[in-house]
Structures are given as structure tokens and as C-alpha cells.
Amino acid sequence: MGRSIERRIEALERSLGGTPVEDSEELKRRREEMKASWPRAWERALAEEAAGDSRRRIALEELEESVKRRIRAREGGR
């Protein structure tokens, strides 16, 4: 995973502090921003991959898997 993505995840975790996930307005805002940017990120990744550079697609796939793991862990491994 790219270092920039790792820093963003760490910043998001820091912003949560001890606040329960459901109550964090900052998390809600960041989640909505990420959801809104996701289609553009994938469009760019696929265009770059068509030009022979798959790094962004791979990073997005890794990010998506990381988020899914965090959600599963938060939900108790369901």
C-alpha cells in the first residue's frame, strides 16, 4: 500500500481518538468524501492501467481490502 494512503488511514484513526465510530462526525464526513471520490479514483486507475501502469489499481484494491478487514475486525470478525 502506498505511503500516502497509509498516512491518510492513520490520520483518520487519530481523528477518531476515543470516540465511538458511530458518534464521530469527522469519520462520517471523511467516509462521504471517500465515497464521492471513489469512482474518479477508479476511472483514473483504469486509464493508467490501459496505458501500462497498474500501480494505482493495485493500491485501490489494497485499500479496499484493508477497509474490509478493518470493518470485519470492528464488527467482531463476522
Give dist(CA 41, CA 34) in Å, integer. 10
Q: Do residues 51 and 33 lie in contact, with contact meaning Cβ atoms separated by under 8 Å?
A: no
pLDDT at 8 over 80: no
Percent of the chain with pLDDT over 90: 31
pLDDT of residue 6: 73
pTM, to two decimals: 0.61
| Long-range contacts at 55-60 (CB < 8 A, ≥ 24 apart) | 59/1, 59/2, 59/5
Burial 19-35 (b: 16+ CB within 10 A, else e): eeeeebeebeebeeeee
53 — phi, psi (to 5°)?
Answer: -120, 105
Give me the pLDDT at residue 61, please.
92
pLDDT at residue 40, as a whole number: 93
